Structure 1
Amino acid sequence: MDWWEWGAGAFEEAKRRDTPVLLSVGYAACHWCHVMAHESFEDEATAAYMNEHFVNIKVDREERPDVDAVYMAATTAMTGSGGWPMTVVLDHDGNPFFAGTYFPDMPRHGQPAFTQVLQALSEAWTQRRSEIGAVAENVRQHLAAISGTAGAAGDWRVDVAAAVETLAGEFDPMAGGFGGAPKFPPSMVLEFLRRTAFSASETDSSAPESDVSRRASHMLARTVAAMSGGGIYDQVGGGFARYTVDRGWVVPHFEKMLYDNAQLIGLYARLGTELGDRVARESADWMIRELGTAEGGFASALDADSEGVEGKFYVWTPAELVEALGAEDGAWAAEVFEVTDAGTFEEGASTLQLRHRPDDTERLEAVKARLLAAREERVRPARDDKVVAAWNGLALSGLVDAGVLLGEPRYVDAAVAAADLLWRVHVRGARLLRVSRDGAAGAHAGVLEDYGCVAGGFLSLVQATGDSAWLDRATALLDTALTHFRAEDGGFYDTADDAEALVTRPRDASDNASPGGTSAMVHALVTAHALTGEGRYRTAAEEALAATSNLMTKAPRFAGWSLAAAATMKDGPLEIAVVGPPGPDRDALALAARRKAGAVVVVADEAREDIPLLRSRTPVDGKAAAYVCRGFVCERPVTEVADLERAHT
């Protein structure tokens, strides 16, 4: 294949040759992208036809989310659905006139062969150009209309009870999660439910639990237990796969993504339960061990396939368990992990599930360690080594939460190392670059989610380390985003005002598997306001959240991170400064502060000017004290954990 990079050169070549442009969008861990590449792009006859009749562009959606967003919107509009691999055919101005996803090499399941599609498109280009022009213009107008109305604003103060009610209607009471198959980890929705579940007790510990709080708590607890006990969770090595093909979390699509695990590590750590602590610790260890790069960052993903077979690295048969563990432990492991002769996957193999932890936890941990060692002898899935700014920003936040809540300083150290890489390699004069590899940054400009997630990660480090340099760096990124990404209605575009012009300027306020740019910015802006007292950050957060009000009300499953922000912003967030001499007393106060949902917490030895939340905060009678404020109202400082737990302003 003669692949071109996305850019003006490819369109100029298409115009010179008078051919259409074929755009193929995928990503490294996408199973069906690899299948289509093997079936079609690596086939000599197909490749020759494509090279002759099209100018072909290959785009990694993780490097160019702006290009992906524009043409995914077109694909969804033209076909009713989307996904990857995405195949879009464009005119010389970049307007799409045909779109689809995977096409087989032979007619199959009611789909034409890819070569048939190519031949029909080439004939239409040469013989029915006017029809193509009409289709392209209609799609262009539709995309422009979507972009123009994406920010329809309302009141950011969302009806939490109504959102919980809608989510309850989509909740799967048998398996947890929302909807049917396939099932994706609803990380951001779960954080909204967590904040809702505990909000009543935090504002009035004597009040009876509300129905809204009970329902939120039930959906949260059922889902986190079901996911961590299912095959979507790597019971041997830690970490979550991207999604399951079934509703019961049993059989995953086996790729492991950084963005999923970064969020889930933080979520499970914040639960404050034995289950949450264990899963957060196992997954943080896995992320550092298997996604950590030599430069200190985190790679994007592990593939689903090894030796050309999806899931081969992760699944087991009863015989393989016996071979790895011996007869007695092998039989015990098969029972514990629900591995049967029939299997839950392909060819009699099973994913490992752990729905009920055995009483003999020492034996369980020993068996897991031996299985992990045995699995290391298998051929490993490939790793996508590119470092994506936004996802590394999420990793900073997840690792910080795990580090401070589980008492694991090495997680915070790993976050600092990744943040140093982002600042050193990805930041150029307060402008972000999207990706790097082997310590060298690529040319692609950062998009809104990069600014929001990286700034949010830096602000997490302020709270974990007390290093004000991260506050300065975070606010520099936020100021850049406010200057270059803000829309007229107070919302945000996904690309900067000086970014490469596409068919339309992408703007999407929804969350997907990772936070959308708008919701990521809202969280970072709210935290920056709490730490600095700068009212403009709070104002910007409220205006941006208002631009997503319709989405939060009508489709809460796709606005979980915005809802989590709205739940916290309603009366807060809590702003807590813990000041005093290092030691057990201060540590206990800091942990109690950090357990409060959505709280912004900073810890120091004494009052400091470089972090405004610490100004004029001093120990009380030489003892560590916690200063609690919310909504411009502060309580008297407290020195006892019990008093802090009751504090709510």
Structure 2
Amino acid sequence: MIALTARPNRLIHEASPYLQQHAHNPVDWYPWGSEALERARKEDKPIFLSIGYSSCHWCHVMERESFADPEIAAVMNQHFVCIKVDREERPDLDDIYQTICQMVTRSGGWPLSVWLTPDQKPFYVGTYFPPTERYGRPGFRQVLMALVRAWREKRSEVEQVAAQWADGIARSDALDVVTGDLPDRQLITDAARAFAARIDPRHGGFGGAPKFPNTFALELMLRHWKASGDGLYLKLVTLTLRKMAEGGIYDQLGGGFHRYSVDERWAVPHFEKMLYDNAVLPLLYIAAWQAAAEPRFRRVAEETLDYVIREMTHPDGGFYSATDADSEGEEGRFFVWDRQEIVAVLGSDLGELICRHYGVTDRGNFEHSGKTVLHIAEPPEALAQALNLPLQEVEARLAEGRRRLLEAREKRVPPFRDEKVLTAWNGLMISAMARAGRSLRRREYTDAARRAADFLLSHLADGRGGLLRRYKDGQAGIPGYLEDYACLAAGLIDLYEATFEERYLNEAIRLTEETLRRFYDGSGSFYLTQSGSEPLIHRPRDLMDASVPAGSAVAAMNLLRLQPYRGDDRFRTTAEEAFRRHRDLMSRAPGGTATMLQALDFYLSSPTEVTLVGGAPEAWLEALGRRYEPNLVLTRVDAPRDDAPIWAGKAAVGGAPTAYVCRNFACSPPATTWEELAQYLGS
């Protein structure tokens, strides 16, 4: 029998929607903190630590099956101190114990289930456990009782395992300090070749099912195409982006990307939508539009950002974190369709056209349900030819069908939305909105970036020069992590280049200084947590890309992008230290260090500094926005200034707007027409 408690547990007082989702479990949950840890020490009880997030499908399943079961909860309450953690709020705890899980089981994921000694050392770990044995997995009740016996009868063996695993995590991200030369471009070439060798030549993307976008690897391939001129890399990137845009991983009606595809064809996704995916993917699509001049890439980027503005924006300007995969207790219910539903909304003629376009059949493609995840089965050109109709007419009819289906879908019960505002993820979205606003000349995107930046700088500042991690329901909390500082600084740099408002540039410089003060180890590496933060069994470094770029890589890129505004070489030399320190890691694990390799590309390519003096003509900005210039530094001043090297000695010619292009410490003559500026930029 499954039942909810009449009286909520301690999680009812937490801001995290994920913790709130467990507040009525019969489990005596604690949030992570001194109260729970002290109780475990005082009563000499092991800790059961459960880590997940609000839009995690299998987290919901385990909650329904086990944590809401009063009999299982009774065992948990009697024998363990039970702690629930939102991994999006506490990436440090997730990093530590996820790394242990991957080391021990060769896999990981969420929900993450870890059993700890009272001094926080893990001795048993897994992910999802069904309540009773199935799927080849032991039952959760079975695991609990086995661990109770082990704690009681084999305590010394348990503590020995805990000590070994704690030692393993301490050594897991150790980096040898590499002295000598900086890495050269061969490191980038080797990584790009390795990525290209893994691309699925039919469907794009890397490997088979499940298939993730792997945005950062694709970005590096695009950069390598720019540097090498080898068209293969552009071909493979654009193949992947076309197939994703045609697949069910992309929301064909509302815009935006789901988390990943469960098949190799991008057809059926895992349906949650995460803010970070919908920040980094539009930037890749814009870059591909600039590189390949395919209008569809621009359209996908715009539809994705429009979705974020429409559905994921806080009234005061920040961006929400995620929407769930489930609605009304079923995964994907909000997004899938059958033929009868479509015909009922659109009528037979338009309904059949839409069904052909989106591959809707009586059989369906989703879990033998007769429902279909919409995907592009017949593109407009094929339909126009098959029906002997003008392409313009077919496109207009398809647009009308999409509009009406979206209106009908909005009447359904929507998935749960996690409305916490996270600084790092907002920083990524500020970058996306600002760069899209600048490149596409879409003021609404620039305005959305400005409102979000102002929201974060006012609501997530800690009053002591630092940042907080999370805002929810009027409350901000949790000291910021490396990614919070680095991603917000990166967003502010992009916002400065979109608006030329120096307050954003100054704040980016200040946050980068704070990044070095709080997270830098002094020899080329960055910690995930601040100096002086809560003591844990390990202070992890933020080295590897995951769903979001590695904080250390974003920090390195920020240092290089801001160096032209510095009167000393500190930012550049610190980035060089990072490249030396990460050289071996970049060589061994390019898939996990693609963002650091992008920073290395920026460094080795000699950034293109474009300084506009006396004005920023719209025609110039529009033309610049169409160019793929991944290593561009764009700035504007009214007259020569001596407070930053990039502005020194640059004057308007004859009072007219003037541009200077600088590379490798040498600048072009002043340009007063776009033709001159384009000549200095090169082909």
**Which category of TM-score, normalised to the shorter sequence, fits these structures?**
over 0.9
* Stretch of structure 1 that moved more, 74-83 or 607-616: 607-616
Report the CA distance shift for 1:459/1:610 in structure 2 as closer, same or farther (over 3 A): farther
Q: Distance in 1 between matches of 2:480 and 2:216?
A: 22
Q: Distance in 1 between matches of 2:104 and 2:57?
A: 24
Q: Does 1:578 align with 2:612?
A: yes
Report the CA distance shift for 1:151/1:326 in structure 2 as closer, same or farther (over 3 A): farther
* Stretch of structure 1 that moved more, 233-242 or 104-113: 104-113
Equivalent residue number for residue 374 of structure 2: 352
Equivalent residue number for residue 9 of structure 2: none
Q: Does 1:433 align with 2:468?
A: yes
Q: Distance in 2 between matches of 1:615 and 1:43?
A: 69
Cα shift readout 1:425-484 (whole Å, capped 9, x = no counterpart): 112232111111134212x11111111101000111111111111122111111111112
**Does the CA-based 8 Å contact 1:468-1:611 persist in structure 2?**
no
Letter aligned with residue 70 of structure 1: I
Aligned counterpart for 1:328 among listed residues 319, 342, 349: 349
Q: Distance in 2 between matches of 1:515 and 1:175?
A: 25
Q: Does 1:182 align with 2:210?
A: yes
**Does the CA-based 8 Å contact 1:493-1:508 persist in structure 2?**
yes
Letter aligned with residue 640 of structure 1: T
Spell out the pairing of 1:336-415 with structure 2 (5 A cutoff). Answer: 336-346=357-367, 347-354=369-376, 356-358=379-381, 359=391, 360-415=394-449
| Count of matched residue pairs | 636
Q: Distance in 2 between matches of 1:138 and 1:254?
A: 38
Report the CA distance shift for 1:588/1:299 in structure 2 as closer, same or farther (over 3 A): closer
Cα shift at 1:71: 0.5
**Does the CA-based 8 Å contact 2:567-2:644 persist in structure 1?**
no
Aligned counterpart for 1:267 among listed residues 257, 261, 284: 284
**Does the CA-based 8 Å contact 1:147-1:504 persist in structure 2?**
no
Cα shift readout 1:179-202 (whole Å, capped 9, x = no counterpart): 2111111111122122222235xx
Secondary structure of the structure 2 residue equivalent to 1:87: strand
Letter aligned with residue 375 of structure 2: Q
Report the CA distance shift for 1:475/1:412 in structure 2 as closer, same or farther (over 3 A): same
Secondary structure of the structure 2 residue equivalent to 1:548: helix
Cα shift readout 1:135-171 (whole Å, capped 9, x = no counterpart): 0010011111113337767734342221121112211
Secondary structure of the structure 2 residue equivalent to 1:177: coil
Secondary structure of the structure 2 residue equivalent to 1:575: strand
Cα shift readout 1:511-561 (whole Å, capped 9, x = no counterpart): 011101111111211111134454211111222233222232232222221
Report the CA distance shift for 1:602/1:438 in structure 2 as closer, same or farther (over 3 A): farther
- Identity value in percent: 42
**Does the CA-based 8 Å contact 2:526-2:552 persist in structure 1?**
yes
Q: Distance in 2 between matches of 1:523 and 1:310?
A: 38
Q: Distance in 2 between matches of 1:563 and 1:523?
A: 10
Q: Please list every run of 5 or more consecutive structure 1 residues that lacks an aligned counterpart in the other structure.
A: 201-208
Aligned counterpart for 1:139 among listed residues 165, 172, 175: 165
* Stretch of structure 1 that moved more, 594-603 or 421-430: 594-603
Equivalent residue number for residue 619 of structure 1: 652
Spell out the pairing of 1:194-593 with structure 2 (5 A cutoff). Answer: 194-200=222-228, 209=229, 213-271=230-288, 272=290, 273=293, 274-346=295-367, 347-354=369-376, 356-358=379-381, 359=391, 360-428=394-462, 429-442=464-477, 444-532=478-566, 534-581=568-615, 583-588=617-622, 590-591=624-625
Cα shift at 1:604: 4.6
Cα shift at 1:605: 4.7
Report the CA distance shift for 1:610/1:43 in structure 2 as closer, same or farther (over 3 A): farther
Q: TM-score, normalised by structure 2?
A: 0.90
**Does the CA-based 8 Å contact 1:579-1:604 persist in structure 2?**
yes
Equivalent residue number for residue 205 of structure 1: none
Report the CA distance shift for 1:610/1:291 in structure 2 as closer, same or farther (over 3 A): farther
Cα shift at 1:612: 5.3
Q: Distance in 2 between matches of 1:42 and 1:158?
A: 54
Q: Does 1:632 align with 2:665?
A: yes
**Does the CA-based 8 Å contact 2:41-2:119 persist in structure 1?**
no
Cα shift at 1:270: 2.5
Cα shift at 1:498: 1.0
Q: Does 1:122 align with 2:155?
A: no
Equivalent residue number for residue 641 of structure 1: 674
Secondary structure of the structure 2 residue equivalent to 1:148: coil
Aligned counterpart for 2:195 among listed residues 167, 186, 189: 167
Q: Distance in 1 between matches of 2:144 and 2:419?
A: 33
Q: Please list every run of 5 or more consecutive structure 2 residues that lacks an aligned counterpart in the other structure.
A: 1-26, 382-390
* Stretch of structure 1 that moved more, 303-312 or 572-581: 572-581
Q: Distance in 2 between matches of 1:374 and 1:139?
A: 53
Equivalent residue number for residue 80 of structure 2: 54
Letter aligned with residue 580 of structure 2: A
* Stretch of structure 1 that moved more, 564-573 or 17-26: 564-573
Q: Distance in 2 between matches of 1:335 and 1:75?
A: 45
Cα shift at 1:646: 3.6
Report the CA distance shift for 1:158/1:433 in structure 2 as closer, same or farther (over 3 A): farther
Letter aligned with residue 263 of structure 1: V
Cα shift at 1:647: 2.6
Q: Does 1:106 align with 2:127?
A: no
Task: Please give the root-mean-square deviation of Cα atoms over the aligned residues, in Å.
Answer: 1.8
Cα shift at 1:130: 0.2
Secondary structure of the structure 2 residue equivalent to 1:600: strand
Letter aligned with residue 167 of structure 1: F
Q: Distance in 1 between matches of 2:523 and 2:539?
A: 15
Q: Distance in 1 between matches of 2:253 and 2:123?
A: 47
Letter aligned with residue 270 of structure 2: H
Report the CA distance shift for 1:67/1:333 in structure 2 as closer, same or farther (over 3 A): same
Report the CA distance shift for 1:460/1:151 in structure 2 as closer, same or farther (over 3 A): farther
Q: Distance in 1 between matches of 2:402 and 2:520?
A: 49
Letter aligned with residue 284 of structure 2: L
**Does the CA-based 8 Å contact 2:611-2:660 persist in structure 1?**
yes
**Does the CA-based 8 Å contact 1:262-1:398 persist in structure 2?**
yes
Q: Distance in 1 between matches of 2:579 and 2:465?
A: 24
Q: Distance in 1 between matches of 2:344 and 2:176?
A: 57
Equivalent residue number for residue 157 of structure 1: 184
Letter aligned with residue 152 of structure 2: T
Q: Distance in 2 between matches of 1:598 and 1:394?
A: 18
Report the CA distance shift for 1:162/1:238 in structure 2 as closer, same or farther (over 3 A): same
Letter aligned with residue 306 of structure 1: S
Letter aligned with residue 157 of structure 1: D
Higher relative contact order (CA 8 A, sep 6+): 1
**Does the CA-based 8 Å contact 2:317-2:455 persist in structure 1?**
yes
Cα shift readout 1:220-273 (whole Å, capped 9, x = no counterpart): 111111111111000100000010111111110000000011111222122223
Equivalent residue number for residue 17 of structure 1: 43
**Does the CA-based 8 Å contact 2:47-2:116 persist in structure 1?**
yes
Q: Distance in 2 between matches of 1:612 and 1:342?
A: 65
Letter aligned with residue 52 of structure 1: Q
Equivalent residue number for residue 203 of structure 1: none
* Stretch of structure 1 that moved more, 483-492 or 377-386: 483-492
